[in-house]
Amino acid sequence: MATLMQQLEGTVQFIRSKTQTQTKIGIILGSGLGNLSNQIAADLEIPYGEIPHFPVSTVEGHKGRLIFGQLGGKQVLVMAGRFHFYEGYTAQQVAYPVRVMRMLGVETLLLSNAAGGVQDKMQVGDLMIINDHISLFTINPLLGKNEDGLGTRFPDMSEPYSKDLIQKVQAIAAKNNIPLKQGVYTGVTGPTFETRAEYRLIHALGGDAVGMSTVQETIAAKHCGMDVFAISVITDIGIREEENTITHEEVLQAAKDAEPKLTLLFSELVASL
């Protein structure tokens, strides 16, 4: 069987047979947040299904294609639709496209996601810059043999999210009157939303939001030396006093409502890089 590095090289070779475009900025869009891809002047779109060794996305709200194009006057590489651990992929598969991006020259990775907010810290519709994460409740994509060609065995995680990028986005948000929160994202496997006891645990541990993506991508990106910026749209609130429930439809709707603000932040951030 081909090693991870051989698979990555096969994927990159395929993509390079379609385009020679160089891009330093990668973007991965979350559930209900794929509309940013419509703002991109696309030069080339490749459905995931055509890309060797790429998993295929299955969840509603995910378009499942790799887009090369321009945003904010810069060349970007966008994953419209991401892979989640709960779909049955391994953590390594979830992280695979991030490594492909790195091998294609991407140095800065921007991530968005829909997340549950922890009560008294967040409200539905908030945009939360992720300034740190807890990934202990999900599976680390670096488990197994280390690919020394990608990065070190024991990567430092003291600054998973670039302070410099956070400051840039704060300045853009202030200029455009977009309120922003900041906090700790807690990665879980899903696909169940959390029980009340689980929400209380996340609250007690210092989590501000909880979601089923992002942490594997961030870990893989840091491992191979990328700068990461990530932001959550708070689509529902945990530790609920009343007997309310959460549905995927609600999550998608709340994400959609917040989308225009996110599109503006990402476009201006990209323009400033």
Stretch that binds ligand HPA, among 55-63, 67-75, 187-195, 214-222 (CB under 6 A): 187-195
State in angstroms the smallest separation of the CB of 244 from ligand HPA. Answer: 12
Q: Is 193 in the site for ligand HPA (CB under 6 A)?
A: yes
Q: Is 161 in the site for ligand HPA (CB under 6 A)?
A: no
Site for ligand HPA in 18-77 (CB under 6 A): none
Q: Which position's Cβ is nearest ligand HPA?
A: 116
Cα of 168 vs its chain's centroid, Å? 18
Q: Which of 115, 130, 215, 265 binds ligand HPA (CB under 6 A)?
A: 115
State in angstroms the smallest separation of the CB of 233 from ligand HPA. Answer: 9
State in angstroms the smallest separation of the CB of 241 from ligand HPA. Answer: 15
Q: What is the DSSP string of 161-189?
A: S-HHHHHHHHHHHHHTT---EEEEEEEE-
User: Would you tell me how many other CB atoms lie within 10 Å of the CB of residue 22?
Assistant: 10
Element (H, E) at 210: strand 209-211
DSSP SS3 for 85: helix
Q: Is 94 in the site for ligand HPA (CB under 6 A)?
A: no
Q: How does 112-143 read in b/e, with b if 16+ C-beta sit within 10 Å?
A: bbbbbbbeebbeeebbbbbbbbbbebbbbbbe
Closer residue to ligand HPA, CB minimum distance, 54 or 193:
193
Which positions from 95 to 114 touch ligand HPA by CB under 6 A, shown as an x/- string?
A: -------------------x
Tokens, residue 44? 């080339």
As a whole number of angstroms, the distance between CA 81 and CA 63 comes to 5
Which positions from 232 to 251 touch ligand HPA by CB under 6 A, shown as an x/- string?
A: ---xx-x-------x----x
Stretch that binds ligand HPA, among 8-16, 46-54, 163-171, 186-194 (CB under 6 A): 186-194
Q: Which of 64, 97, 116, 187 binds ligand HPA (CB under 6 A)?
A: 116
Tokens, residue 135? 């990934």
Whether omega before 179 lies within 30 degrees of 0, making that bond cis, reads no
DSSP SS3 for 230: strand
Q: Is 212 in the site for ligand HPA (CB under 6 A)?
A: yes
Contacts to ligand HPA by CB under 6 A: 114-116, 188, 190, 193-194, 210-212, 235-236, 238, 246, 251
